[in-house]
Structures are given as structure tokens and as C-alpha cells.
Structure 1
Amino acid sequence: MLTGVILAGYHDRKTSTSAKALLPFCGEMLVQRQVRMLKSICSEVIIVTNEPKTYLPILGSSVRIITDYFSGKGQLAGMHAAMSLSTSDHLWLVNGDMPFISAKAAKYMNEELTPDVDAVVPQFDGQLYPLHGVYHKSCVQAVSSALEKGEHDLSELTGSLKIKVQDEAFFRKYGLETHFVTNINTTNEYHHAMQLNYSLQYQSGAIHCI
């Protein structure tokens, strides 16, 4: 059993749109695209947001929409809420600004999430990507402790967990490229992501968006 989690609804002034998860992407909103991908392998999908009224008309009852316990504490607070309420022991966590999340990558990482580790996380060129990782629900204790100490940085959390890192070679053996960790922080990055999607679509010979 795997729960898919989208951390969404946090405003960002770097983009011209208030919520990046609501950006149009290849004929649908980014959050709709993410939900579709999560549902392909997850028995449950959770969206954590401080703006539930924004997402209810879009997604309805197709997903669980929850809010933070630690309001205003960012992504760590979102992780805490999801881990506290998940019905599964394993959670695949993504941020709401990631257009190329990969169910295949999550599936293979989930298979590596053994009882002796807390999480399986991608790492490319020395950079860790905690927001496309798969976590044990029991990590909520470490997340809660970090929040109570006033820590908000994901890097501080990952330093306290037993993480199994998977590099580019791990994903390449399954035919996966590394663009699934791409996120959108600026308008230029949004346009670049759109161009990348068209390029991937052309390479695959797909008629429809991928």
C-alpha cells in the first residue's frame, strides 16, 4: 500500500500565478496531472494545502484534501500532516510544482524501502531531492521533533533520517531519465518545462501530452 502526497497551495511570488499547482500544463492543471500520475500506483492520494477551498471545486472527493497542524511552517508541516493521517505505511511525497513526477521511479524506490531505512530519496550530481522520495509513515516522529525545534529546512530533517540514496544509475537501469525531479520556481522555468514536455512527447512519438 502506498499513499501519494502533494504538498500544494503555498503562495510563491516568484511566479505570476499565486499557486504553482494550478498552472495550466498540457491541457490540464498541474495538480490534476500530478493526481493522475499518483493514482496510477497509489491506493490513496492526499493534498496538503492551507487553501482547501481552492482545490475542492477542481478535485472534489477524488482525493483527500487536508491542512497543516503546524500552520505557516511550510513543507515540513505538510509532511507532518500527511504522515499523521495517511492510511498507508509508505508515502510518496512530491511538491505541487513538479510537472514530471514519475510513478515508475516511485514504484522502484518503494521496493527499496526496507524496514531498516526511513526513506528512499533520489540524488543526482550530489544534490538530494527529498520531494520525490518515498518515506515510512514512522518518519512523522522526526518531522514533529524538527518542527517543535523550530526547524523548517528539509535538509535538517533528512540529516536525522536513515536515508537510502538512489543515484542516476539506479533509475537508468529501469529506462528512466532524471527530469522527474524538475520543479518550477520562475516563469522562465515554467516555459522551459513546457518546452521539455513537447520535446519528450516528440521523442516518444506520442500524439497526446505525456
Structure 2
Amino acid sequence: MSSSTITGAILAGGPNKFMSGTLKPLLPFDGGTLIEHQIRIMRELCGEIIVVTNTPKPFFDVLDRSVRLITDYFPDCGPLGGIHAALHLARNPLVWVAGCDMPFLSTEAARRLVENRTEHNRAFVPTIGNRPLPLHGIYDKRCAADAANLLSTGEKRLEAFLNKAGYLGISADSWREEQSIGDFAFTIRSQEDYERAEERLSRILHTR
């Protein structure tokens, strides 16, 4: 599996992008910002990185020029709008999509999704407790048409998108116990979550 075949896409918009007056992706983390930390992880697997945001200006001084900043074709449509934009503009046939508030992305988890893909499905999503995790999924670029068809009718639900794309759910309940993967589903939704993420990162760094 070559990195030239995979694009990494980070969704950095939405109503929950601010926390304590700071954009979540620009929160201090791992010696830089959270989004820089995510990009470093994605670059282990991806030959192209996209950040989807309708407010690109705050990122100009943070991200290097190799990162593509793009905006939604369907604004104010939540994560599905961002997924559509990423899939539509990705230069590679596969796209690894993540949210900007997920500090522990896992290239090993993404690799396993890619390795389990089939000819009959276009979306490959980890499931935890039988629930799909769309924002750590691998998508065939052709899923952009599925997203566009839904959004054009006003349908914004990720569940509807997964079903239309014919997704394959891959059980990942045991993955988070593996040191090489960790809790890739962890999401920063509050100040307490952010503090927990920093503590967890400190423990990870001390074990290296």
C-alpha cells in the first residue's frame, strides 16, 4: 500500500470548533497545535493532506504550503459537507477522514481498514460497540457522488451517507487495547477532555 494512493483529510469546521475562545485544531498540543500533531500522524500514511474549513485564515500561519486548505461546496451541512469536499477534491483514490478534535489518530488502525477493503464496498469504517465511527474511516473517492446526492436533497446524516456508500463496518473494539493503536476514537468535546488528552499524551511520551 503506497502513501501516494491515500489522502488524509481533517474536518476543521462546524459549530463546535471553538473551545474557550480558541479554535479546537489550534489548541496547544505536543509542542505545537493539535492539527499539526494530527498532520504529523497522517503523513506516516498519506501522500496528501487536506484540511476542510470555511475559515481558512487562522490556519495560514500554522500549516505549511504542502497542506491543502479547502472549503465546503455545501456550506452549513455539518461533517457530511466536509467529507464531500474532501472526497471531491482529493487527488488520490482513497481518503482517510478524521475530525479536528481527535488527538490520537492511528495509522495502524487506518492501515487495517485499507487492508480489509473489498470490491463490493466503497467505505470502510471501524465499529466500536457495533456503532460505526465515520470520522476515522477510509473512503473511496467515488463516494463524493453519494454525498453530493444526499446533500442536494437536504440529507445531512452521516448514517444515511454510510448506507448509501455501502459501507463495511470493521470491528475495532479490541484495537484500542493494543499499544500500537491506542484510543483512536477519543474526541475532545470539553475542557476536561482536553486535559485528559494532554495527560494521556504525557504518559505515551514517557513510555517511548
**Structure 2 residue 143 is matched with structure 1 residue 139:** yes
Map of 2:123 onto structure 1 = 119
- The answer to whether the 8 A contact 2:27-2:33 is kept is yes
Map of 1:3 onto structure 2 = 7
**Over 3 Å off, 4+ runs:** 169-178
Q: For residues 58 and 8 of structure 1, what CA distance do their matches in structure 2 show?
A: 13
Q: For residues 15 and 162 of structure 1, what CA distance do their matches in structure 2 show?
A: 35
Give SS of 2:62's match: helix
User: What's the TM-score, normalizing by structure 2?
Assistant: 0.90
Number of residue pairs matched by the alignment: 204
Aligned-pair identity (%): 34
Unmatched 5+ residue regions in structure 1? Answer: none
**Structure 2 residue 192 is matched with structure 1 residue 184:** no
Question: Structure 1's 169 and 189: CA in aligned 2 closer, same or farther, altered over 3 A?
Answer: closer
**Structure 2 residue 72 is matched with structure 1 residue 68:** yes
Map of 2:107 onto structure 1 = 103
**Structure 2 residue 35 is matched with structure 1 residue 31:** yes
Residue by residue, what CA displacement relative to the aligned partner does 1:29-87 show, whole Å, maximum 9, x if unpaired?
Answer: 00000111111111111111001111121113121111111112121111111111111
- The answer to whether the 8 A contact 1:168-1:178 is kept is no
| CA apart distance, 1:96 | 0.5
Q: For residues 98 and 90 of structure 1, what CA distance do their matches in structure 2 show?
A: 20
Residue by residue, what CA displacement relative to the aligned partner does 1:152-182 show, whole Å, maximum 9, x if unpaired?
Answer: 2212211222211111367479764551111
| CA apart distance, 1:133 | 0.4
Q: Which moved more, 1:31-40 or 1:148-157?
A: 148-157
Q: For residues 178 and 112 of structure 2, what CA distance do their matches in structure 1 show?
A: 9
User: What's the TM-score, normalizing by structure 1?
Assistant: 0.89
Unmatched 5+ residue regions in structure 2? Answer: none
- The answer to whether the 8 A contact 2:93-2:140 is kept is yes
Higher strand share: 2
- The answer to whether the 8 A contact 2:43-2:49 is kept is yes
Match of 2:81 among 69, 77, 82: 77
- The answer to whether the 8 A contact 2:80-2:158 is kept is yes
| CA apart distance, 1:15 | 2.5
Map of 1:166 onto structure 2 = 170
Question: Structure 1's 108 and 47: CA in aligned 2 closer, same or farther, altered over 3 A?
Answer: same
- The answer to whether the 8 A contact 2:7-2:94 is kept is yes
Q: For residues 20 and 183 of structure 1, what CA distance do their matches in structure 2 show?
A: 11
Equivalent AA in structure 1 for residue 188 of structure 2 = I
Equivalent AA in structure 2 for residue 129 of structure 1 = L
